Amino acid sequence: MPEVYKFTSFTTSNCYILRPFNNDICIFIDLPPDLHEPLSYVKENKLTIGGALVTHGHFDHALGMQDFESSIYMNLEDEFLARNPQEQLAMFTDSELKAAQYEGDISNLESIPYDFIKTHHNPGHTAGSTSFEFTSLGLIFTGDFVFRDSIGRTDLKSGNNNKMIDSIKNVYSKFNPDYEILPGHGPSEKVSTISRGNIFIKEYLND
């Protein structure tokens, strides 16, 4: 697997940084609330940020938008979630964490300037949930669509269980079995291993 920087937020979500061009340009996958460490990594390694791809609008993947100064790309069906984190924060944490509305720019996925990045719309966890595939590197960033041992919950705002099942049958099923999945929470794993070992994926692929 090519070198990928992984930071796990206090919210347990993963932020990934990769350098797909073998130069100093790096791309972020997801922007958790505590971006300090990933941004220090960028600084220490003298990298130039080429933008962030955000898998969906939940605060544990998007609240870092507030502290991010480069282009942000996401499926705009999730824009309302990303811009309004406070409601989710109140549900998810017992902390006193307060977050303002995000007023900065969010660009749609069509405007990603790198044509080698494949986007897969996989609604279910949220309406705009998206996986990002780096074909040349054999990597797929799935956010809260598919984890190593489970799948994303569908009982939150704009979640939909039937759409999740459709996404597994029509999107996940077409993932290259040799590629590595880097999920929004927990460890990475090969697609073929997940297809054999993840009971949710197994069930929905086979029924």
Using CB positions, name the residue nearest to Zn ion. Answer: 58
- Which residues would be at the binding site for Zn ion (CB under 5 A)? 58, 144
- Comparison of 58 and 163: residue with beta carbon closer to Zn ion: 58
CB of 124 to Zn ion, least distance (A): 11
- Comparison of 76 and 137: residue with beta carbon closer to Zn ion: 76
- Comparison of 144 and 180: residue with beta carbon closer to Zn ion: 144
CB of 139 to Zn ion, least distance (A): 20
CB of 119 to Zn ion, least distance (A): 17
Strands 48-53 and 25-29: parallel
- Comparison of 129 and 188: residue with beta carbon closer to Zn ion: 129
CB of 51 to Zn ion, least distance (A): 21
